[in-house]
Amino acid sequence: MSATPAPQPAPTQAQLDDVLQAALYLLGARQDQMLTIKEWTDLARAVAACQECKTADYLTEHDLEDIAERSALEWDEATDGPLAPGPNLDE
């Protein structure tokens, strides 16, 4: 039997506004047949805030490397998570 997840607090209006803005960017990028790492990160950041997760949880390793190596994107490890994968604790 699996445990029932603890209920999460309702997202704030500001968090919902961020998700909506990020979704609008994503839709616009799709219409233009392009998507920047900033737009992708904005979407990940907005969803992570609503889910009480880290932005890095929604990005690929390639995305994180791109941000670390050449992007001028603001990144706060306390909020967004580490840019590099942590040590593999399963080994």
35-83 residue pLDDT tens = 788 888 888 998 898 888 999 998 989 889 989 887 778 999 999 999 8
pLDDT band at 88 (very low <50, low <70, confident <90, very high): very low
pLDDT band at 91 (very low <50, low <70, confident <90, very high): very low
Predicted TM-score of the model (pTM): 0.65
What token pair was written down for 25?
């960017």
Give the pLDDT score at 2.
63
